[in-house]
């Protein structure tokens, strides 16, 4: 099965399109998991999150930067977290926004993508701004290993428009990137997808018409201001085609419910998001 087919199956099986971001910040962790080193605390926290959400959602998205900042021990913890999530039946999207040219791109793709790679991730976020020869190695590995990539098209951050909205000919740059992503999606049975932020609801709807084949990874929901109404334009007419990420709003839900067990707060937040985003199949 291709990555797109596996993602479709997982979304259908779980009955929702919720993606839980694993963005551990040490200062925000529950006190109960702050035992031992930072790396040990991160691993304990993330594996407990996985235990909670694995029966509920189709995928998780660990953000590499939060592990990288603490060095090799935390990166080793990330590798074990990815393997643990996969063992629980979750798809894993490695959020590293990688890219480079030639053999360097080949190394990133080979090391991160596919269950038998060093990192064992199902998919990876990728930047497009080095051009097609920097994307081709990732696409090749996606096809060979039934993996996926999500290419940055219209990101959720306020400053993204500095480059993405630049007028190039008759349309903004993000439209040119979107058209390129759609061509790749058609060539790979949907295994090349797009990152399009929930904070740009009008462009989200616009880009769905430009990219009818591609899966969307939609950040910006919850803490960044995106709502259930904002993300509706990301979905295709068949009710599929998008996964909507929520990181802080789920994994740090205990901060809003200090009287609850932190695990119960996480479960309640995940279920609340699922109810807010009913899958319309």
193 pairs with which residues across the strands? 150
Distance separating alpha carbons of residues 237 and 56, to the nearest angstrom: 23
Alpha carbon distance 77, 192 (integer Å)? 28
Q: Is 97 a catalytic residue?
A: yes
CA distance 196 to 203: 8
Q: Which of 97, 115, 140, 271 is catalytic?
A: 97
205 Cβ contact list (under 8 Å, min separation 6): 233
Burial class (CB in 10 A: 0-12, 13-18, 19+), 253: buried
Active site (catalytic) residues: 97
């Amino acid at each position: 099965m291709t990555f797109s087919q596996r993602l479709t199956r997982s979304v259908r099986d779980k009955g929702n399109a919720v993606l839980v971001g694993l963005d551990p910040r040490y200062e925000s962790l529950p006190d109960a998991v702050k035992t031992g080193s930072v790396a040990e605390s991160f691993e304990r926290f993330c594996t407990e999150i996985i235990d909670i959400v694995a029966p509920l959602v189709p995928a998780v998205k660990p953000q590499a930067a939060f592990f990288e900042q603490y060095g090799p021990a935390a990166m080793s913890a990330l590798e074990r977290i990815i393997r643990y999530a996969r063992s629980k039946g979750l798809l894993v999207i490695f959020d590293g926004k990688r890219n480079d040219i030639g053999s360097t791109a080949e190394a990133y793709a080979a090391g991160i993508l596919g269950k038998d790679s060093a990192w064992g991730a199902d998919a990876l976020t990728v930047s497009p701004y080095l051009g097609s020869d920097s994307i081709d190695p990732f696409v090749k590995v996606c096809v060979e290993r039934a993996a996926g990539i999500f290419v940055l098209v219209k990101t959720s951050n306020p400053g993204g428009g500095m480059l993405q909205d630049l007028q190039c000919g008759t349309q903004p740059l993000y439209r040119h990137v979107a058209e390129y992503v759609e061509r790749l999606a058609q060539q790979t049975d949907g295994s090349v997808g797009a990152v399009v932020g929930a904070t740009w609801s009008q462009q989200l709807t616009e880009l769905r018409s430009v990219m009818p084949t591609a899966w969307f990874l939609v950040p910006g929901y919850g803490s960044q201001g995106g709502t259930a109404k904002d993300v509706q334009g990301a979905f295709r007419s068949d009710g599929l085609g998008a996964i909507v990420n929520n990181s802080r709003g789920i994994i740090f839900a205990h901060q809003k419910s200090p009287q609850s067990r932190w695990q119960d707060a996480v479960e309640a937040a995940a279920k609340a998001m699922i109810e807010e985003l009913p899958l319309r199949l």
